[in-house]
Amino acid sequence: MRIDRILIVDDDDELRRMLVDYLTSQGYTALGTRSILQGQEAMRTETFDLVLADLRLQDGNGLEFLKEVKQLAPKTYSILMTGYATMETAVEAIRLGLFDYLIKPVLPAQLDLVLQRLESMRQLQSENLYLRQQQQTDSGGSNIVWGRSGLMQDILEMVKKVAQTHATVLIQGESGTGKEVVAHAIMKYSARAHMPFVKVNCAAVPETLLESEFFGHERGAFTGAVQRREGRFETANGGTLLLDEIAEIPLSLQVKLLRVLQEREFERVGGNKTVRVDVRLIASTNRDLHEAVRQGQFREDLFYRLNVVPINLPPLRLRGPDLDDLVEFFISHFTRKHGKVAQGVTPRAMERLRAYRWPGNVRELQNTLERAIIMANHDGPVEVPEFALPQKDEFGAMNVADKLPTVDEMERKLIGCMLLQTNHNKTRAAQKLGISLRTLRNKLRTYRAEGLDTERPEMWVG
């Protein structure tokens, strides 16, 4: 994570100018002052990542000034420079938490080594912070269970292939289908696995603060911006950034996001310095972005920039045998978590689970099974009453067991599922269905005449 703004406080005019000129030539923003008073004034009006100060200054002690810096700006790093090295001064510098202690004259090569160590440490701190946040916020049951269905096996293969590239990925699917977990898997299989994985829920951030959340802001950029702040793109530099619920981004910000995708650069809010980043972007949404584009709610050019590699996650009701694997996984996980000894589920309960449509998908299944394990008052298999599933889902749709589909409806669903499973390869889909390619094309022509979008079977197989 790159250091940006550096303050140098030294009354040696020649050395100060040399350091400012050298740091500027290396791409840093460097400001030089010749007294503690000027340094204090600079600290009041600007934010710095690093302050270098001489020990003996005309108007005071540089160590005392750096002590004040630590109090006023705890996130700012400090380095003491001195031509009068003593053990007592070195010990005091360490005690105050200064990053380093340099003997004058400070040479460019010395400064380069210190800055490299500092940037490496900042990067490590950022990675550790997000790792801790991930451990605190992730549910223990969020580990992905790919299952045995052809749909999910094809998605697993796609995840492994795309992970080896730097391509932008757009993950679409209903709420609870595991979009964030798939994004984690892409990161895990990629060369960026050891770098930051940063998430932004675009729907949870107020529209007025979203630009600052993405790109950061400079001190004084708006009311409440008391210090400079890095945005999520900077924090994710070198790693992966997940923009969840990307359909909620306002049109005004979509233009700026498009520029970042094209040029990998931006300016912080209230700033004019261009910041370059190397970020692998993954976007996810439960909305139909095609429809959002058609309605003018989402930019078409941004959609195509995001849709380099589309991954469409099927709803749980179309994943067939995967339900059994998920139930086994969650029962095992939650019995350990809550200290229970439940032994699976009864055949009658499993039949009930298979009959339910799961409008909340894997997330709803996970919550249902955890609740059942918590409420169970015996050590045997979990029984039907402990699931407390409604007869109708939250949208008022009848359970599969309540209303059987017609033969035509089943045929249409089967064809749609096979098209999804073969990634729209009609020849392979026809072979798997056991029909001729001509028959399949005739069926699709009929569906189009009925108003179905045959290029997007995920919209009509559910």
* Of 143 and 320, more confident: 320
- pTM, entire model: 0.63
Task: Give the domain 316-386 fold.
Answer: Helicase, Ruva Protein; domain 3 (1.10.8)
The ranges assigned to domains in the chain are 5-119, 174-312, 316-386, 407-459
- pLDDT class for 384, splitting at 50, 70, 90? low
Q: Is the pLDDT of residue 394 over 60?
A: no
Q: How much of the chain, in percent, has pLDDT values that exceed 70?
A: 87
The structural architecture, per CATH, of the domain 5-119 is: 3-Layer(aba) Sandwich (3.40)
CA distances from 433 to 84, 424, 440 (A): 84, 13, 9
The two domains 316-386 and 407-459 share their CATH topology (first three levels equal): no
**What is the reported pLDDT for 120?**
77
Task: Give the domain 174-312 fold.
Answer: Rossmann fold (3.40.50)
| Token pair of 193 as six digits | 């696995």
Q: Are 369 and 333 in contact (CB under 8 A)?
A: no
**What is the reported pLDDT for 278?**
93
- As a whole number, mean pLDDT of residues 67-73 equals 85
- Mind listing the pLDDT tens digit for each residue in 216-237? 998 888 887 778 888 999 999 9
Let me know if domain 407-459 sits in CATH 1.10.10.
yes
* Of 421 and 29, more confident: 29
* Of 300 and 458, more confident: 300
- pLDDT class for 136, splitting at 50, 70, 90? very low
